[in-house]
Amino acid sequence: MVVSRVDEEISILRSWKRMSGGYDAMSKRVNATYAETRDIRETMRETRLPFDVVWEMVGFRDEMDWVETQD
């Protein structure tokens, strides 16, 4: 399980590196798109980013991590 989590983190970091404008600019774009669509899949299509990156930038991953640590 730890290995898959590390691989997931590496994948996310690599995708951030390929983003034009850097993480901050892309995060603003993702959040603006999500605010309009309220749909992860539509945000993925509009930003051309993979699910895990959009999930992270919108903040759902942080929320899920927080919920998991509450148990």
pLDDT in tens, 1-43: 456 777 877 777 776 666 667 788 888 999 999 999 999 999 9
Is pTM, for the whole model, over 0.95? no
Longest dimension (CA), the chain: 38
Q: Give how far Cα 17 sits from Cα of 2, 21, 22, 23, 46, Å.
A: 23, 10, 7, 8, 19
The DSSP line for 2-41 is HHHHHHHHHHHHHHHHT-TTHHHHHHHHHHHHHHHH--HH
CA angle 11, 60, 50 (to 5 degrees): 35
Given a cut of 80, whether residue 51 has pLDDT beyond it is yes
Work out how many domains the chain is built from and give that number.
1
Query: What was the pLDDT predicted at 32?
Result: 96
Q: What is the pLDDT of residue 64?
A: 63
How much is the pLDDT for 66? 63
Q: What is the average pLDDT across 39-63?
A: 86
Structural domain boundaries, residue 65:
2-69
